[in-house]
Amino acid sequence: MGDEQEKEREMSSPNSGDDQKPSEEQAEKTANSEDLSKEDVANEDLEPDDTLRGEENEPFTPEISEEVETDWQKMAQERYDQLVRLQADFDNFRRRVDREREELRGYVTGAILGEFLPVYDNLERALKYMPDTGEAKAWRMGVEMTLKGFNEVLNKFGVTPIPSVGTAFDPRVHEAVQRVDSDHPEGIIVEELLKGFQWKDRVLRASMVKVSTGQDAQDVQESGTDSPS
């Protein structure tokens, strides 16, 4: 009885007989395939790369670049020389700008002052021909005060009249309009027709003058009388 019941249980079991063997064989094949794949991966990691070898399968040797030593003292000297040149260029530029600015200022100042000189001339002429008696005396005093104020303004800006009468003729500051006979030596200015002015070393207007020839009219007449006919 016991043997019959055991046979019945084996026949009724779902995992009995030949059905169980294929599953065990399939599991063993899967395990073997996983082991083979792991070995292939390990072998690939250990195999040297052909690209790192030379053309003749020589071992790869990386190149080591040699560091170039820097001459810091030479570099510092070059930077110092460059700084000195830049400083010199800047000083030259600053002096040139200052000189140009001063020249421009002098040109503008001279041009403005030169425009006032005709007004000064008119005041002098009015004072020269204005009577100093009667009702004209008050007018004359007013013109004198105006001319005095004009002179103070010119002196304030450094404008001074050019000496003429009694001095030697200087073509830099004088303009000769006539040569006359006088008892003065030759080349001496005997009369001023128009007063000249200078601003610092710059001539705003030259003086118009008459220059002596060094021989008076009487000497000329006597020399003409004594000459043989």
Give kind and range of the element (H or E) at residue 168: none
Residue 56 has pLDDT above 80, yes or no: no
Fill in the amino acid letter for 48: P
User: Measured between alpha carbons, how far is 173 from 160 in angstroms, rounded to an integer?
Assistant: 12
Instruction: Give residue 34's pLDDT.
Output: 56
Closest CA to 209 of 168, 156, 148: 168
Range of lowest pLDDT (17-31, 171-185, 200-214): 17-31
Q: What is the pLDDT of residues 73-112, one digit of tens each?
A: 888 988 999 999 999 999 999 999 998 888 888 788 888 8
Give the residue-averaged pLDDT of 206-218. 81
User: Measured between alpha carbons, how far is 46 from 92 in angstroms, rounded to an integer?
Assistant: 73
Measured in degrees and rounded to the nearest 5, phi and psi for residue 204 equal -80, -40
User: Measured between alpha carbons, how far is 174 from 162 in angstroms, rounded to an integer?
Assistant: 8
% of the chain beyond a pLDDT of 70: 64
In angstroms, the Cα distances linking 111 to 119, 147, 149, 173, 175 are 14, 20, 20, 17, 20
Domain 160-221, CATH homologous superfamily name and number: Head domain of nucleotide exchange factor GrpE (2.30.22.10)
Nearest 5°: the CA angle 67, 71, 73 is 155
User: Measured between alpha carbons, how far is 167 from 210 in angstroms, rounded to an integer?
Assistant: 11
In angstroms, the Cα distances linking 134 to 127, 139, 154 are 15, 10, 31
Ramachandran region of residue 178, left (φ > 0), alpha (ψ -120 to 50) or beta?
beta
Instruction: Give residue 219's pLDDT.
Output: 55
User: What does the domain layout of the chain look like in residue ranges?
Assistant: 82-157, 160-221
User: Measured between alpha carbons, how far is 108 from 89 in angstroms, rounded to an integer?
Assistant: 29
Residue 28 has pLDDT above 80, yes or no: no
Torsion of CA 76, 77, 83, 86, to 10 degrees: -140
Residue 200 has pLDDT above 50, yes or no: yes
| Confidence tier at 33 by pLDDT (50, 70, 90) | low
User: Measured between alpha carbons, how far is 61 from 4 in angstroms, rounded to an integer?
Assistant: 80
CATH topology of domain 82-157: Hemagglutinin Ectodomain; Chain B (3.90.20)
Q: What is the pLDDT of residues 129-139, one digit of tens each?
A: 888 787 788 88
